[in-house]
Amino acid sequence: MRTRPALLAVAAVLPLVATGVAAAPSAKAATTAKVLFDNGHAETAGNADWIISTSQPNPFNQNSAPTRETDWTGALSSWGVSLAQYRSTYTSLATTTRALTYGDTSNPQDLANFTEGVVPEPNTSFTAAERTALMKFVQNGGGLFLIIDHANSDRNNDGIDSVGVANQLFSANGVDNTNPFGITADVKNYSSENETNIPAAAKSHPVINGPWGTVTGSILRGGTTFTIDKTANSSATCLLYRNAVSNTGNTGCFVAASTFGSGRIVTWGDSSPVDDGTGQSGNTLYDGWNDPAGTDAELALNATDWLAKLS
């Protein structure tokens, strides 16, 4: 089990008793956050199981007081249950299987009702309306966590993979079609590496040195990278490069962060680090969340905080 110092303010939170669930972070702002996980774009196709719970939209209907990652079913349950331990801050966790919207009052899972949206390896294209909704959400202050996978990882064989889905969002969104985040997903497939190449300037970034712990690296088990373009967006930043490249350049970025309008985005080039190894039956899953070759849980949770403007 990954352990983190607990806040005195959350002493009443149920204790953690199983591998994969993070304790409450050591410091937080006095604000709240609502996080929406996407499961409307084939996130469970093939061997993928990128959900926090099979109970959707409300994971707490599966277990109202989860204390171990197996209390919820899904390869991202460690992530979800870790956030659930701090419900005084993460007041709402939900999953949508509907089209993503922004400003649709008829949709309870509309992005306007949330602080942050998490899209874990989408395998079907966003519609034009969804791309516009995501961009307006970020532009108006929302946080977007976009996790993709390697090139040719088309799990449902519909002709597009998560690399293509990401680049469609970055280039044809109806709000800013000229690389609005300063980030482009590379059409690459790197098989198995342990990335520790954090640039000096990024070591103080809240995603790297944040409330849930200090990030020293991340596993890569079949993933891609990003190209950073600061001329398109000066806030675009690489937080973690592949070990094989210079950490002062614009290529080979494995984890990137940027802002747009008053919102934020984090991109990660592989879904393996957030896989906790357990999920629905019939899937072949691997525990990247607790892999000792990376600090993947810390990275995911720090990024969740930063995107929600809690750090």
71-111 residue pLDDT tens: 999 999 999 999 999 999 999 999 999 999 999 999 999 99
Q: To the nearest whole percent, how much of the chain has pLDDT over 70?
A: 90
* Least confident among 23-32, 97-106, 110-119, 292-301: 23-32
DSSP-derived letter for residue 8 is G
> For residue 31, what pLDDT band results from cuts at 50, 70 and 90?
confident
pLDDT greater than 60 at residue 142: yes
Q: Which of 63, 99, 98, 97 is nearest to 81 (CA)?
A: 63
Contact 134, 176 (CB under 8 A): no
Cα gap 10→185, rounded to integer Å: 39
pLDDT greater than 50 at residue 301: yes
For 166, phi and psi rounded to 5 degrees? Answer: -65, -45
Cα gap 91→83, rounded to integer Å: 9
pLDDT greater than 70 at residue 151: yes
Cα gap 1→16, rounded to integer Å: 9
DSSP-derived letter for residue 119 is E
Contact 79, 72 (CB under 8 A): no
pLDDT greater than 90 at residue 18: no
pLDDT of 8 reads 25
pLDDT greater than 90 at residue 232: yes
Q: CATH homologous superfamily for 8-307? A: Class I glutamine amidotransferase (GATase) domain (3.40.50.880)
User: Is residue 243 helix, strand or coil?
Assistant: coil
The residue assigned the tokens 């409450």 is 24
pLDDT greater than 60 at residue 153: yes
Q: List pLDDT tens digits, range 243-259.
A: 999 999 999 999 999 99
Rounded to a whole number of angstroms, the CA Rg of the chain reads: 18
Q: To the nearest whole percent, how much of the chain has pLDDT over 90?
A: 90
pLDDT greater than 80 at residue 238: yes
Cα gap 46→212, rounded to integer Å: 31
Cα gap 141→137, rounded to integer Å: 7
Structural domain boundaries of the chain? 8-307
Amino acid sitting at position 186: D
Mean pLDDT of 140-147: 98
Mean pLDDT of 17-39: 68
Cβ contacts of 200 within 8 Å, gap of 6 or more: none
Which tokens hold the place of 303? 């990024």
Mean pLDDT of the chain: 92
For 180, phi and psi rounded to 5 degrees? Answer: -60, -30
pLDDT greater than 80 at residue 69: yes
> For residue 19, what pLDDT band results from cuts at 50, 70 and 90?
very low
Mean pLDDT of 222-240: 98
- Residue 185 Cα distances to 240, 265, 267, angstroms: 14, 14, 9
Which residues, listed in sequence order, are joined to residue 116 by a DSSP beta bridge? 35, 143
Rounded to 5 degrees, what angle do the CA atoms 182, 187, 189 make? 125
Cis peptide before 57 (omega within 30 of 0): yes
Cα gap 187→149, rounded to integer Å: 10
28 or 11, greater pLDDT: 28
Amino acid sitting at position 108: P
pLDDT of 17 reads 32
List of long-range contacts for 245-248, beta carbons under 8 Å, 24+ apart: 245/197, 247/197, 247/198, 247/199, 248/199
pLDDT of 22 reads 62
The residue assigned the tokens 């909704």 is 133
Inter-helix orientation angle 296-307/77-84, to 10°: 60
pLDDT of 226 reads 98
Contact 68, 274 (CB under 8 A): no
